[in-house]
Amino acid sequence: MIVRQLNGSLIVKYLSHKARVFVAALASLLVSVVAPLAIAQLDDYTLNAGDSIRIYAYGEPDLTFEKLLIGQRGRISFPFLGELEVEGLSVNDVQNLLTAGLKPDYLVDPRVSVSIVEYRPFFVNGEVKNPGAVDFQPGLTLRKAITLAGGFTARANKKEMLVIADNAAGEEGERVDLDYRIRPGDIITVKDTFF
């Protein structure tokens, strides 16, 4: 077997067919387990309608879901446990809820992991070129979000931007600057200038 590194990639030559199959299976397993974790979990992030989660029950393929969308009422449907309210819970809370629900009657030692596959979108409106829903990515600032929305229009007031957080009680926005950290579900309004 020869292993070389070329431009940051490992090149494996002269592996037997069985070894290549094993390496491919191992790579596939790593991608399926690690890829959802590549989307970094936000500190103190709570789930809400529109988020998609991955539920993995070790050794239980019928209880494993690659992508499960949280419905408009903040619930998911799970075998044996029925409809579960997950809105406002962290992924650890959901993991504990599932483990506790499966343990007494269905599985002796349930090992369940929950991760976020896709966050709910945030919304940009007002004086941007492409207003509407934008897919959330961890680490987004308002500056990047406006770029994703096509940038400012000619009439945009680059100093007056308001954000209504997803969990905000009122409809009045908070004034923010371009370094504001976007959260899923935020509603961003870019005001216009008065000439």
Q: What is the pLDDT of residues 172-187, one digit of tens each?
A: 788 999 999 999 999 9
68, β-bridge pairs = 53
The whole domain housing 188 covers 122-192
Q: How many helices (H) and strands (E) does the chain have?
A: 3, 12
User: Of 100-109, 116-125, 178-187, which range is least confident?
Assistant: 100-109
Is residue 148 within 8 Å of 141, Cβ to Cβ? Answer: no
* Percentage of the residues of the chain whose pLDDT score is greater than 90: 63
Shared domain for 112 and 56, answered yes or no, is yes
- pLDDT at position 43 is 59
Instruction: State the DSSP H helix or E strand holding residue 12, giving kind and residue range, or none if neither.
Output: strand 9-13
Shared domain for 187 and 129, answered yes or no, is yes
Shared domain for 68 and 111, answered yes or no, is yes
Shared domain for 74 and 96, answered yes or no, is yes
Which CATH number do you get for residue 162?
Answer: 3.10.560.10
Shared domain for 74 and 133, answered yes or no, is no
Residue 29 scores a pLDDT above 70: no
Identify whether 46 is part of a domain: no
| Residue range 127-137: mean pLDDT, rounded | 94
Candidates 73, 83, 77; CA nearest to 48 is 73
d(CA 16, CA 51): 43
| Residue range 145-173: mean pLDDT, rounded | 87
The per-residue pLDDT for range 40-83, each reduced to its tens digit, is 445 578 999 999 999 999 999 999 999 999 999 999 999 999 99
Identify whether 149 is part of a domain: yes
Identify whether 143 is part of a domain: yes
How many domains, the chain?
Answer: 3
| Residue range 101-112: mean pLDDT, rounded | 90
pTM of the model: 0.69
Residue 144 scores a pLDDT above 50: yes
- pLDDT at position 160 is 87
Instruction: State the DSSP H helix or E strand holding residue 190, giving kind and residue range, or none if neither.
Output: strand 187-192
Which CATH number do you get for residue 66?
Answer: 3.30.1950.10
Strand, coil or helix: 83: strand
Identify whether 23 is part of a domain: yes
